[in-house]
Chains A and B, each alone.
Chain A
Amino acid sequence: MSDQAIGSRIAYVRREAGPTRPAPIMTRGVFAWVRENLFSTPMSGVLTIGSLLFVLWVAPDTFRYLISDAVWQAPDGVACRAPGAGACWAFVAAKFEYFMYGSYPRGETWRVDVTLVLGLALILWLLIPRLPRKGMAAFAFFVVYPVVAFFLLRGLEGVLPIVETNLWGGVFVSLLVAAVGIVASLPLGVLLALGRRSQLPFVKFFCVVFIEFVRGVPLITVLFMANTMLPLFVPQEWTPDRLLRPLIGVSLFAAAYMAEVVRAGLQAMPKGQFEGAMALGLPYWKMMRLIILPQALTTVIPGIVNSFIALFKDTTLVAIVGIFDFLRTVETARLDPVWAGPTISTTGYVFAAIFYWVFCFAMSRYSQMLERKLAAGRRR
């Protein structure tokens, strides 16, 4: 009996279950994906074909320059200066140590390696959800590691030779500035965000002024101020180290931005969550730590990671106050007359771009993974 015939009757009772049929071919599998994503409208079809042509046009030259015509091994810049030569990877190989460590004494660079590997191991321990004992990992990373890293890098009288910070440089300093900025800005940002929503007028006023002031000036200004003004606030013998000053500047700057991201998350929390926690007798800080912040921070993971990525790239600005970060070492190395040539600058910058891109992309992917994981089964 057809559906229509059933529908037109006044009374009907189904006696058996209806058959299950597969979806039409055009609405599933590869067909459906291509149609939906690449050719859903005429405009989308045109853009798909246009993009494809563009890739076909650009890809061969890029491949030739970066891979097949590139100079992979050479003792100096002669081979790279040959007409038609591609990227000069030999230059990167020759300068690799300088890019990594700056002017850190060559015999001592193992100390940087150990610090980096230790840090990386601890970060992985913290970030990979499957690994156990996060509390211990956090303690090791946030409390023990900074002390160990400080003495490893700077040295300890009589045990390890002292290496002054003006010799530090390269990738290692970029990672250092980024890591300190990231680690300091999140807790500071959370405190500022809570302060800005505080009922206590003085706390609120201080937080608003700090956030708006720091956000209202460029990072370069903050760095200059940290560089020239911090020493004025403390007795001469306590003058902060020249690397410490931009570290403080970057951290405070990032914290102000982080505060606004976190505040957005707090703003998005339903009032019922506060009330549910309060009605159980949870005091303010416990409520924040156990109920509100875990949810608020989860909501704004994309914003937080966005800030981290911005901060990571902004670390290149510390070069302005005389810190030899990675980009600055590239800048210096490309002027070396032994290597000077038409492809050297491009090679250096491409290398720098790849470095920054890999780190930023990794952060982005990690945050996406985290979002998916935290979203699973916890939707309201």
Chain B
Amino acid sequence: MAASPLVKTTPVTNDIAVEIVGMHKWYGEFHVLRDVNLTVRRGEKIVICGPSGSGKSTMIRCINRLEEHQQGTVVVDGVPLTNDLKRIDEIRRDVGMVFQHFNLFPHLTVLENCTLAPIWVRKMPQKQAEEIAMHYLTRVKIPDQALKYPGQLSGGQQQRVAIARSLCMSPKIMMFDEPTSALDPEMVKEVLDTMVQLAQDGMTMLCVTHEMGFARQVADRVVFMDRGEIVEINTPEEFFKNPQHERTKLFLSQILH
């Protein structure tokens, strides 16, 4: 009964959360994603890193159809992505996404930001939605800001609201697109702490980030992308200690001083 070497903090089942097979994407003539293959198991935490322009964000945006891929298949929680709008909305409901620039709705209060989707998409009664919102706002440690507008909050607080907003939809998968890149240095930690906590609770996570400390701490696997392709996938220990590909070595030498 030897535990799999990939198991870290959560038991990994055989259930597959996301499966990407042979995915290609072009922007006009430009081939941005080439033959991307990735299988994410339920409860798994994946950190995706790589130089800017390597297609990391584009790849995870293809998972909830913020970007369209032209070839290959993407299956999210057993549902294959097609052009069927109903199905896309269905997938989006179950896949939370946190953006670099938060993308909170500035005309709504923090609480309204959190209750909007549960009320209008999940048809939840307002009172219940507010209870759930307060629960998650408490978890990201800003329940006292619930009635403020996003513009009145610091960057770190806004990003935590964005995380709470996604969690209010009880997503099965959470995706993070460089969640700390737009933050002032002193606010990075509060957001990372929230993400670590989320990881410890067993959430399936895909994080595009340059926070290598975070990758070491929570990732089950680190995916390294360069020029639109996945160059290397490995456990964080092996990835940082013993990178195999030349491009990985070069990248790590540039970001780890």
A interface residue numbers (CB < 8 A to B): 272-273, 275-284, 286, 290-291, 294-295, 298, 374, 377-380
Contacts and interface: CB of A to CB of B under 8 A. Distances in A.
B90 A281 contact: yes
A379 B85 CA distance: 33
B151 A290 contact: no
Given A295-B106, A378-B151, A380-B151, A279 B121 contact: no
Given A272-B99, A276-B99, A378-B151, A281 B107 contact: no
6 contacts: A279-B95, A281-B117, A282-B121, A283-B85, A291-B105, A377-B151
Given A377-B151, A380-B151, A278 B104 contact: no
Interface in B91-112: 92-93, 95-97, 99, 101-107
A294 B148 CA distance: 18
B107 A275 contact: no
A281 B93 contact: yes
Contacts of A280: 92-93, 116-117, 121, 165-166, 169
Given A273-B103, A291-B105, A279 B92 contact: yes
Contacts of B150: 380
A232 B121 CA distance: 46
B79 interface: no
A375 to B, nearest CB: 10
Contacts of B104: 276
Interface in B39-59: none
Contacts of A298: 107
A83 B89 CA distance: 79
Contacts of A286: 120-121
A380 B106 contact: yes
A126 to B, nearest CB: 19
B89 A279 contact: no
Chain A interface, >50% SS class: helix
A279 B64 contact: yes
A290 B89 contact: no
Contact of A378 (B93, B149, B165): B149
Contacts of B66: 275, 278-279
B181 interface: no
B107 A294 contact: yes
B217 interface: no
B138 interface: no
A152 B165 CA distance: 50
B116 A290 contact: yes
B152 interface: yes
Closest CB pairs A-B (n = 4): A276-B103, A281-B93, A281-B92, A280-B117
Contacts of B89: 281-283
Contacts of B152: 377
Nearest to A277: B105
B66 to A, nearest CB: 6
A377 B120 CA distance: 25
Contacts of B85: 283-284
Given A276-B99, A279-B166, A377-B149, 15 more contacts: A272-B99, A276-B105, A279-B96, A280-B92, A280-B121, A281-B169, A284-B85, A286-B120, A291-B105, A291-B116, A295-B105, A377-B152, A378-B107, A378-B151, A380-B151
Nearest to B118: A280
Contacts of A272: 99, 101-103
Contacts of A276: 99, 103-105
Contacts of B97: 279
Contacts of B96: 279
A291 B105 CA distance: 7
A294 B103 CA distance: 15
Contacts of A379: 106, 151
Contacts of A380: 106, 150-151
Given A280-B165, A290-B120, A378-B149, A273 B105 contact: yes
A231 B165 CA distance: 54
B237 to A, nearest CB: 32
Contacts of B64: 278-279
B92 A278 contact: yes
B140 to A, nearest CB: 17
Contacts of B105: 273, 276-277, 291, 295
Contacts of A283: 85, 89, 121
A200 B165 CA distance: 31
A256 B118 CA distance: 36
A275 B90 contact: no
B24 to A, nearest CB: 22
A275 B99 contact: yes
A19 B89 CA distance: 59
A272 B177 CA distance: 12
Contacts of B151: 377-380
A249 to B, nearest CB: 35
A249 B97 CA distance: 47
B222 to A, nearest CB: 24
Contacts of A290: 116, 120
A282 B120 contact: yes
Contacts of B95: 279
Contacts of B165: 280
Interface in B200-226: none
B30 to A, nearest CB: 19
A378 B106 contact: yes
Specify which of B64, B90, B120, B165 lies most central, judged by the most chain A CB atoms within 10 Å of its CB.
B120
A284 B120 CA distance: 12
